Amino acid sequence: MDEKKKLCMFCGKDESFGAMNVEHFVPRALWDSKRPQDTQTVPAHVACNSSFSSDNDYFRDIVALDEGAAFHPEVQKLMAGKIDRKFQKKPGAMRISLKDLGPIPKHSKGGIYLGHAPAFTVDTVRVERVLRNIMKGVFYSVREEPLPADFQFSFADVTHETPEAIREVIDMLPPEWVGFGDDVFLCRYAIHPKYRGIMAALLQFYRNRTFFGLATPSDLNSLKNETDAGQPQPANS
Ligand SMILES: [Zn+2]
């Protein structure tokens, strides 16, 4: 069997576009000390990976400083360690991460709402970038190929939704959570076996902040064409 050409989980290109490495797709920033060894790895360009490092730090601050995450053991370690050191070294960093403190709920295009507690304006573009990369990593680790480049993502913060309100989503996804290291990151996902890998996922951080993500082709007509082309149908579709 031919070995599959290694492609970058972020940009989908091969090593002729830059040096590649094997990267953990769950951000290292989420842990104070060592990231557990069992987090899955996927191929990625070194440059692509490092370009997201400040987004990952920012995202970590947002989900770790959330009221509901305060009792998570890894968050407590972060507050006494990495986050504490960061804000002592650069007091301005606190203001950058938690800019515009105030009760200003912020909605992103995809519907993310991050205005509950603590109330501050969140850069949803950066938050969505991190979530998108994690979904790409999960997809790659399952399918051993990058998520198609034309896919678009939408995210919603479902942390404060009741199970009834997101029942449809829950029912769509397999019941198991795939966990990484002491429940720092938990995920439930489903990838459609046909429709080019349409993917839905629940992503949870520190057993608290939870996002629902959906990845679909930007041109939904491409799905219709695929069906028209007479691809095999799943038995009970
Ligand atoms: Zn790349």
Å from CA of 48 to ligand 1 middle: 5
Å from CA of 47 to ligand 1 middle: 7
Question: pTM higher than 0.75 for the full model?
Answer: yes
Q: Given this model, what pLDDT does residue 157 score?
A: 86
Rank 53-67, 105-119, 174-188 by mean pLDDT and report only the highest.
53-67
The residue ranges of every structural domain in the chain are 15-223
Å from CA of 185 to ligand 1 middle: 23
What number is the average pLDDT over the span 160-171?
81
Q: Given this model, what pLDDT does residue 172 score?
A: 80
Å from CA of 44 to ligand 1 middle: 6
Q: What is the pLDDT of residues 96-137, one digit of tens each?
A: 555 544 444 444 555 555 554 444 567 888 999 999 999 999
Report how far residue 114's alpha carbon sits from residue 63's, in angstroms, rounded to the nearest whole number. 10
Residue 200 C-beta-side C-alpha neighbours within 13 Å: 14
Å from CA of 192 to ligand 1 middle: 24
Amino acid at 189: Y
Å from CA of 58 to ligand 1 middle: 21
Q: What is the pLDDT of residues 7-53, one digit of tens each?
A: 999 999 999 999 999 988 889 899 987 777 666 789 999 999 999 99
CA distances to 24, 71, 122 from 160, rounded to whole Å, are 29, 17, 17
Q: What is the pLDDT of residues 206-224, one digit of tens each?
A: 999 999 999 998 877 766 6
